[in-house]
Amino acid sequence: MASLFSFVLALAVAFATTPAVKMLAIRIKAVDIPKDNRRMHKEPVPRAGGLAIFAGFLVGVLCFGALGPQMKAILLGALLLVALGMVDDVVSLKPSVKFAGQIAAALIPVLSGVVVERFTNPFSPSGYLHLGVLSIPVTVIWIVGITNAVNFIDGLDGLACGVSAIATITMFVIAVMYSEAQIALMMAALAGACIGFLPYNMNPAKIFMGDTGSMFLGYILAVTSIQGLFKFYAVISFAVPFIILGLPIFDTAFAIVRRVIHGQSPLQADRGHVHHRLIDLGFDQKQSVAILYTFSAVMGLTAVLLARTREAKLIILAVAVLVCFFLAMTLMTVEKNHRREEQAVIDQLCEKAEQEKAAEQEKEAAQHKTEQPPEEKKEQ
């Protein structure tokens, strides 16, 4: 019941505060101006809307959750990331500065005991690989990685917020299945905050969540998965969070590989994310978001079934679907770009042929005029 109240309160707070956050964003000039082909919008749009999501989540958790040392550390880390995101939404910080801030935020809950203590190891008699001294760096990498993964998919109206809401609802269901009351309450509050913000963020968006929201959402999803999903005493515990967050994880992995291959920094923004590929294939924003929502929902359902049945075959199936999806997006985009280049070459050749034909006709007309007999000229 507490989770339900937390959900409703967070939704109401996020929905009610978003207009005020929008006015604040305009006043402090936290506005996204379209200046490159990565951006899908044509007009300036206020950002930093994640502040409303954070407000809804915070109120929902503070009113109904238990504030132990770890929860306080999690909220403090979230506050640091929200502040960092607000600054970035106004002045656009360097990637290295944001990265350092993300590490600092991750260390706050980690040093309070929120760590990944072990991974699944089918070759061990116990079934697990205990990390020992590696638990802290591995946990920091996980938190920072998911924080950036959600940030990377924030490229279409409503995409990151909706995908995060689907992941949050999935984690809530699994937490209820395993009687993790605190995790369930946190996920209920986060889901409510996301859903309360979505009406303002769906296409055409009235406000963007900005780095304020995307980094906060990624951080909370990462930390919560450590507190809940990695703690399950089951061989499948390691796979569940990866399946739930499959879309942002695989999109980020493909982006890093793509950028390294092209000699770019892994943090260098580009126009090769899965949502950009869908747009390039001819889908509009709403269709692209709907496709990715459906994909995320399928991954979420797979994670729930995996957590319930503990069938390892589902892990293979989920990974295969993820890999096939991203490979299909890549191949279809490459093929369409190739056809587009071929058509451009054909158009250029046709245009050149028409110009040559017109020039030849003009030349023939001029020659015919000069060769006209004198008698005809007199008659004229």
76-85, 155-164, 369-378 — most confident range: 76-85
How confident is the model over 16-39, as a mean pLDDT?
86
How confident is the model over 290-304, as a mean pLDDT?
86
- In this predicted structure, what is the pLDDT of residue 62? 94
Residue 339 in domain: no
Q: How far is CA 180 from the centre of its chain?
A: 27
Residue 363 in domain: no
- In this predicted structure, what is the pLDDT of residue 380? 43
How confident is the model over 288-313, as a mean pLDDT?
81
Residue 345 in domain: no
Tokens of 221: 């999803």
- In this predicted structure, what is the pLDDT of residue 234? 47
Residue 370 in domain: no
Tell whether the model's pLDDT for residue 60 goes beyond 80: yes
Tokens 């951006």 belong to 39
Burial degree of 35 (CB within 10 A; 0-12, 13-18, 19+) = exposed
For 29-43, 122-136, 361-375, which range has the lowest pLDDT when averaged over its residues? 361-375
Residue with the bigger pLDDT between 50 and 236: it is 50
CA–CA gap between residue 37 and residue 340 (Å, rounded): 17
CA–CA gap between residue 284 and residue 121 (Å, rounded): 43
Contacts of 361 (CB under 8 A, 6+ apart): none
Residue 284 in domain: yes
Please write the tens of the pLDDT for every residue from 188-211: 999 999 999 999 999 888 999 999
SS3 118: strand
Cα–Cα distances (Å) from 190 to 212, 214, 363, in that order, read: 15, 13, 74
CA–CA gap between residue 23 and residue 187 (Å, rounded): 28
For 6-20, 191-205, 305-319, 354-368, which range has the lowest pLDDT when averaged over its residues? 305-319
For 208-222, 223-237, 257-271, which range has the lowest pLDDT when averaged over its residues? 223-237
Residue 257 in domain: yes
Contact 202/158 with Cβ under 8 angstroms?
A: yes
How confident is the model over 83-111, as a mean pLDDT?
93
Q: What is the mean pLDDT of the chain?
A: 82
Tell whether the model's pLDDT for residue 238 goes beyond 70: no
How confident is the model over 243-251, as a mean pLDDT?
81
CA–CA gap between residue 246 and residue 225 (Å, rounded): 13
Domain count, the chain: 1
Query: Could you tell me the residue range of the domain that residue 287 belongs to?
Result: 2-238+246-328
In this structure, are strands 118-120 and 45-46 parallel, antiparallel, or unpaired? unpaired
Residue with the bigger pLDDT between 228 and 108: it is 108
375 pLDDT band, cuts 50/70/90, is low
- In this predicted structure, what is the pLDDT of residue 233? 44
Tell whether the model's pLDDT for residue 245 goes beyond 50: yes
165-179, 278-292, 309-323, 364-378 — most confident range: 165-179
Residue 365 in domain: no
97-101, 232-236, 262-266 — most confident range: 97-101
323 pLDDT band, cuts 50/70/90, is low
Q: What percent of the chain has pLDDT above 90?
A: 37
How confident is the model over 325-342, as a mean pLDDT?
59
- In this predicted structure, what is the pLDDT of residue 180? 85
Q: What percent of the chain has pLDDT above 70?
A: 76
For 25-29, 45-49, 305-309, which range has the lowest pLDDT when averaged over its residues? 305-309
How confident is the model over 53-59, as a mean pLDDT?
96
Residue 10 in domain: yes
Task: Tell me which long-range contacts 19-22 makes (C-beta under 8 A, separation of at least 24).
Answer: 19/200, 20/52, 21/48, 21/49, 21/51, 21/52, 21/55, 21/207, 22/46, 22/49, 22/200, 22/206, 22/207
